[in-house]
Amino acid sequence: MKIRAGFTIGYKCAHPTPMLLVLNIHPSRRTDLLTAQVLSFSQPIDAWNYIDTFGNSCTRIMAPGGLMTISTEFEIYDSGQPDTVPVDAVQHEIKDLPDDVLVFLLGSRYCDTDRLGDFAWKTFSDTPLGWARVQAICDFVNNHITFDYQKADALRTAHGGYVDRTGVCRDFAHLAITLCRCMNIPARYCTGYLGDIGVPPDPAPMDFSAWFEVFLGGHWHTADARHNVPRIGRILMATGRDATDVALSTAFGPAELAEFSVVTEEIAT
């Protein structure tokens, strides 16, 4: 399967403003590219790339004053298979986890494990270890939160999502990640492209998507509390502790979002 994906995002800055961008696909998907994936800017700017501590491909820029647009469009190969469901993946004892995985058991900016630990143990302690426990958490979150673009809140934490019972894909991911961590399952936040491939088209404008991964059986496995069914055509951009680590842009000064469009579609053959 071939997928065409890309975006156009515009920012308006009052004056030259340093920014960090996480807008490239993840290095693990580069070998699947059928065309180059390059960020293009509407104005000449200084830009340079680096790999962050989570292994994401990031870009540093000095955004000029006024309106600037960032865009990319590319084609990528995908297996066309839905997400793998690792029903037999075992849950590790904490003492057996790799050192670099331990950080994904800890609380973070949006994953306030200290506020949900008691609830998690009361609710999920009788579920089987491993993937069955992850699935029980996804089922709970999927039923507990109602998706509503109008209720998006950049300041809402996992506990906030639990209390408000509404939000967008990041809120589903943050709550599920937090409950997994409370139950000693390493979990990390993922962002990327997810088009309406193999499912009925969603009439809402296309956006980037958030899901998460859990570390079971020595590997990271995809989980998605919002859709709660295996999906086709995920294109990973970045992973981190929560949405803070994979923000599309981080501006060190005023920067107004002036334009935003995303495309992700299967290429007919």
99-136 pLDDT tens trace: 999 999 999 999 999 999 999 999 999 999 999 999 99
Asked whether 81 and 232 are in contact (CB, 8 A), the reply is: yes
Instruction: Decide which of 3.10.620.30, 3.40.50.1370, 3.90.1150.10, 3.30.1330.10 is the CATH code for 94-240.
Output: 3.10.620.30
CATH of 2-79+248-266, one of 3.40.50.300, 2.60.40.2250, 2.60.40.10, 2.30.110.10: 2.60.40.2250
Closest CA to 91 of 224, 244, 9, 214: 214
Percent of residues, the chain, with pLDDT higher than 70: 100
Distance CA 64, CA 61 (A): 9
Q: How confident is the model at residue 205 (pLDDT cuts 50, 70, 90)?
A: confident
- Tokens found for residue 11: 């920012």
Task: Summarize pLDDT for 6-36 with one digit per residue, the tens.
Answer: 999 999 999 999 999 999 999 999 999 999 9
Handedness of CA 129, 134, 140, 143 (dihedral sign): negative
Q: Which residue has the tokens 């590790």?
A: 92
The domains spanning 2-79+248-266 and 94-240 adopt the same CATH topology: no
- Which pLDDT does position 178 carry in this prediction? 98
Q: What distances in angstroms separate CA 236 from CA 11, 56, 193, 246, one per listed residue?
A: 23, 10, 7, 11
Task: Quickly state the pLDDT bin for 204 (edges 50, 70, 90).
Answer: confident
Widest pairwise Cα distance in the chain = 58
List the structure tokens of 114. 């200290």
- Kind of pairing between the strands at 2-13 and 66-77: antiparallel
Structural domain spans, the chain: 2-79+248-266, 94-240
> 96 — phi, psi (to 5°)?
-100, 0
143 band by pLDDT with thresholds 50, 70 and 90: very high
